[in-house]
Amino acid sequence: MPNEIFVIGTGRCGSTLISNILNHHPDVLSLSEFFTFVTDLGTLIPQAFPAIQINGAQFWQIVSGIYAKQNIMLAHDIAMKEVLYPFKTDVRFNASTGVPAILQTTLPHLTPKYDALFDQIHTVITARGMATAEAHYHALFGWLAAHFGKSIWVERSGGSLRVIERLYQHFPNAKFLHIVRDGRDCALSMQRHNGFKMVLLVFQITEILGIDPYESDDRSWQDDLPDELISFLPESFSGKDFLAYDVPPSLYGHYWSGEIMAGLDVLDRIPAAQQLTLQYESIPNRHPQYH
Amino acid sequence: MSEKIVITGGTGFVGTHLILELLEQSDAELFCLVRAKNTSAEQRLHQQLAEVIQGSDYAPELINQVKKRCHAIEADLQGDITSLATFIPSGVSQFWHCAASLNYEERFAAEIYDINVEGTRKALALARALNVDCLNYVSTAYVAGRNTGVILESPMAEVQSSNVYESSKVEAEQLIYAQQDMKYRIFRPSIVIGHSRTYHAINFSGMYGFLRRLIQFKGMMARVQRGYLERESIRMNVDPDVPINLVPVDKVAKQAVAIARSDSSNTIFHLTNRTVPTVGEALEVLFSTVGLPPPKIVQDTTQYAWIDEKFNEK
């Protein structure tokens, strides 16, 4: 069984840098942004970790789902720069068809033959019987590690502190590398990031409507939406308004604080031997692209 | 032969209570103009009235009077209602116009104007066609807009409205003053809240709209930073000692019907509360209701953090 490592953080904390460094290690399989997209930017966390046993086909639906939020961003040309799949040119999956979660970044990060790998995984996973999500995830990551001849896999998703409770529950023996960056810098960096903007917009709309508008058609409380949020409902989405909408850094600051506090609560329960905290600022020769 | 009354907005917050008061205080037959939604107009009207009877302190037997004396006529104020005169028996003495849009967001401006102003114009036309003696119009104390000081029970002249809802109600009142075909009474309730004893309410307008937004704001912040709002008070720049006029819906209905049954001439009535809390007291209760500490009152907005600005922008 391969060694299991999660790189976790608040998002915009420098974990991508770590992921890219680790990708060069001959023994490491770098799984990038897997849980970002499988949870549709962290908004469908319970759905990605079902409490009941599911079969391989159902698990495949989770990892290969074409999720609404990440794909509306592709359709309106406001995709996060982490998306590696060539959705503007590929004929199989593109902005019109939507791109499966595992293909947005994770597979193109591993190989240029991502479409073929996608089909191989499909065959392997759908052949599986009933099992817990935990068993399916172990099987998937283990198969990928074996496929690439690696003895360690490292999963890293931006803002994964939000899912650390589930990660620890499903991977109790994994090691957790926590990257911490000054909250003010994270907040400013989040402000320039379309993914975090999308998440905070969805939070606001969901609280007003009482439902996630990307997962439900119920618009009973639509009249409560302030004018400035109407453009971010899926049926009236405007990429132009999205780019023009300014989420103040203070809200990202609150978000960073909330993630850190909730994440540290879980890290407190993880044995010291299974965790390491690194400060982003202490990593030498940081490349400007990660600022 | 019993009196006949026509009423619009009979499924609304004030409208339902007016109907129940009319049933209690008179033996009139009521013809209610109601939109059909998922159910027929009659079913919708009777279901809504049944809910209000249950939530208020009316005798449960009043539902029998509803079934006997409340007739629903399917109508939509945004469509043609004048032609409905043919479905209503002659001899209507009073017309109650309660239907209104309570939205105020700018994007609803056309709809608000259509319902509140054009709807009132159509209601007047229908009342005229029915040859009614008197039109009772449920307006709002918010026609005063940003005016301060003593607001008289007289037509609003120069008003600076805060939003399209307020300006639409001012314009609707003006349509009523301008007509000379029938007597009129204009009722201006202040902030209508739930039943005085049971606290029952059926919508999220007015104070309940504020409460709902408070819950939404708390929920949004819980998603962003759980527990923050429970620890840190929101700052508000308000005068905590100013009275806020909240009036229970049953009191509004009782007073309005009692006035309408008197021999009053063309008049405007402020249906407000003599005993009112202060803004500070009301805010403390509302915040505590949703599990938040009371807001911190500040002297000016320069003391606002971002979160205070975000909260107070509504």
Q: Do B224 and A248 touch (CB under 8 A)?
A: no
Using CB atoms, pick whichever of B106, B108, B216 lies closest to residue A207.
B216
Q: Distance (Å, rounded) from C-alpha A154 to C-alpha A19?
A: 8
Q: Which residue from A minimizes the CA distance to B306?
A: A250
A7 has a pLDDT exceeding 60: yes
- Cα dihedral A45/A51/A52/A57 (nearest 10): 20
When the pLDDT of each residue in chain A is averaged and rounded to a whole number, the result is 94
User: Looking at the complex, does the CB of residue A200 fall below 8 Å from at least one CB of chain B?
Assistant: yes
Q: Complex ipTM, two decimals?
A: 0.83
Instruction: Count H helices and E strands in chain A, helices first.
Output: 14, 5
Sign of CA dihedral A173, A174, A175, A176: negative
Number of domains chain A is built from:
1
Could you confirm whether domain B4-190+245-271 is CATH 3.40.50.300? Answer: no
A44 has a pLDDT exceeding 60: yes
Mean pLDDT across B77-88? 92
Q: Do B224 and A251 touch (CB under 8 A)?
A: yes
Using CB atoms, pick whichever of B220, B227, B307 lies closest to residue A203.
B220
What local confidence, expressed as pLDDT, does residue A83 receive?
96
Q: Do A223 and B103 touch (CB under 8 A)?
A: yes
Query: What would the pLDDT profile of A104-126 be if each residue is shown by its tens digit?
Result: 999 999 999 999 999 999 999 99
Q: Other CB atoms closer than 10 Å to residue A46's CB: what's the count?
A: 9
In a domain, residue A205? The reply is no
Q: Distance (Å, rounded) from C-alpha B50 to C-alpha B98?
A: 19
In a domain, residue A243? The reply is no
Q: Do A224 and B225 touch (CB under 8 A)?
A: no
Longest dimension (CA), chain B: 66
Q: Which residue from B minimizes the CA distance to A255?
A: B224
Using CB atoms, pick whichever of A206, A224, A258 lies closest to residue B226.
A258
Are A233 and A69 within 8 A, CB to CB?
Answer: no
For residue A255, list chain B residues with Cβ-Cβ distance below 8 A.
Answer: 224-225
Q: Distance (Å, rounded) from C-alpha B27 to C-alpha B213?
A: 41
Domain boundaries along the sequence of chain B = 4-190+245-271, 207-242+277-312
Task: Please report the DSSP string for A130-193 in residue order.
Answer: SB-HHHHHHHHHHHHHHHTT-SEEEEE-TTGGGGHHHHHHH-TT-EEEEEE--HHHHHHHHHT-
What local confidence, expressed as pLDDT, does residue A114 receive?
97
Q: Which amino acid is present at B86? A: T
In a domain, residue A275? The reply is yes
Q: Distance (Å, rounded) from C-alpha A157 to C-alpha A106?
A: 10
- pLDDT above 90 covers a percentage of chain B that reads 88
**Nearest Cα residue to B100 out of B85, B89, B116:** B116
Q: For residue A73, what are the domain limits?
A: 3-185+249-290
In a domain, residue A10? The reply is yes
A290 has a pLDDT exceeding 60: no
When the pLDDT of each residue in chain B is averaged and rounded to a whole number, the result is 94
Sign of CA dihedral B247, B250, B253, B258: negative
What local confidence, expressed as pLDDT, does residue A288 receive?
56
Helical segments of chain B, H only: 13-25, 41-55, 62-69, 109-113, 119-129, 164-178, 207-224, 228-231, 249-260, 279-289, 306-312
Distance from CA of A151 to the nearest CA of B (A): 37
Using CB atoms, pick whichever of A226, A251, A262 lies closest to residue B306.
A251
DSSP B144: G
**Nearest Cα residue to A137 out of A288, A279, A18, A6:** A6
Mean pLDDT across A176-202? 96
- pLDDT above 70 covers a percentage of chain B that reads 99
| A:230-269 residues touching chain B, CB 8 A cutoff | 230, 248, 250-251, 254-255, 257-258, 261-262
User: Looking at the complex, does the CB of residue B274 fall below 8 Å from at least one CB of chain A?
Assistant: no
* pLDDT level of residue B105 (50, 70, 90 thresholds): confident
User: Looking at the complex, does the CB of residue A208 fall below 8 Å from at least one CB of chain B?
Assistant: yes
In a domain, residue A255? The reply is yes
Sign of CA dihedral A237, A242, A244, A246: positive
A256 has a pLDDT exceeding 90: yes
Q: Do B105 and A223 touch (CB under 8 A)?
A: yes
> By mean pLDDT, which of B120-124, B158-162, B168-172 is the weakest?
B158-162
For residue A230, list chain B residues with Cβ-Cβ distance below 8 A.
Answer: 107
In a domain, residue A46? The reply is yes
